[in-house]
Amino acid sequence: MKILVTVKRVVDANVKIRVKPDQTGVDLANVKMAINPFCEVAVEGAVRQREAGRATEVVAVSAGPASCQETLRTAMAIGADRAILVKTDVELQPLAVAKLLKAVAERERPMVVLLGKQAIDDDSNATGQMLAALLGWPQGTFISKLEFGDGVVTVQREIDGGLQTLSLTLPAVLTTDLRLNEPRYASLPNIMKAKRKPIEELTPEALGVDVTPRLKLIEMREPPARPVGQKVASVAELVARLRDEAKVI
């Protein structure tokens, strides 16, 4: 069984985001980038399935500029067998990414496409669902457990009301929640090996996919600063301030 796992290059989760002065987007100049945490969980999940003998190959795929090679090498250092980069400098939106992944999936013919449930930069949480619809495959989203059987995969989903268990016929699209596993730290030998592994490069044109943006960003602003907290002497004063100043009661 082959598993296709997706990885996205995002601003490191520990970096404070800055909006550009002209409010056209996030300032990425001299900012530390990293693999999306949900994608890292997906890579770890795929590698564990191969280590358990349930998968024969783990293929990491990313779409974006040449700098995404660094993210793919992180995935290979964790344990992915090989990597594919769909190289483009166009700003990719979820539908475009889903179409690219569909083309790669049809080319690679995996039994499972494993994605992080969302990326921490745009928070869209849409690519996996769109990909499943385009492929016509069953989907399991927000999974915190998975178990493969004979031609099926059983997943446990985290939903608002608790947990939901689904049995999906393979091939399937799965998106991972953080509670699926704890990603390993890549060892230095594996990092060095990953640097020497080749990365196959494709283009949207070669895959026959139009990635022209359909949405236009008009303006991006930072949220207003939170006001300084205040202490009150009594409950009566608290109620008065909530009514007269905050106007919430």
pLDDT digit string, tens, across residues 207-232: 999 999 998 888 888 888 888 888 89
Model pTM score: 0.85
What's the pLDDT tens digit per position in 165-199?
Answer: 999 999 999 999 999 999 999 899 999 999 999 99
Token pair, residue 47, equals 């590698």
The pLDDT value recorded for residue 221 is: 87
State CA 111 to chain mean position distance.
19
The pLDDT value recorded for residue 8 is: 96
How far is the C-alpha of 240 from the C-alpha of 228, rounded, in Å? 18
The pLDDT value recorded for residue 110 is: 96
Contacts 24+ apart (CB under 8 A), 9-18: 9/33, 9/34, 9/35, 9/36, 9/62, 9/64, 9/67, 9/68, 9/70, 9/71, 10/34, 10/35, 10/36, 10/119, 10/120, 10/121, 11/120, 11/121, 13/37, 13/120
How many other C-beta atoms lie within 10 A of the C-beta of residue 229? Answer: 5
Token pair, residue 191, equals 């990092």
Helix residue spans in the chain (DSSP H): 37-51, 68-78, 94-108, 127-135, 188-196, 204-207, 235-244
Unique residue bearing structure tokens 């693999």: 35
The pLDDT value recorded for residue 16 is: 87
Please, are residues 43 and 11 in contact by the beta-carbon 8 Å criterion?
no
How far is the C-alpha of 135 from the C-alpha of 119, rounded, in Å? 21
The pLDDT value recorded for residue 15 is: 87
Residues of the chain with pLDDT under 70: none
Residue 26 bridge partners (DSSP): 19
Backbone dihedral angles phi then psi of residue 204, each to the nearest 5 degrees: -55, -35
The pLDDT value recorded for residue 159 is: 87
Q: All domains of the chain, ordered by start, with CATH? A: 2-244 (3.40.50.620)
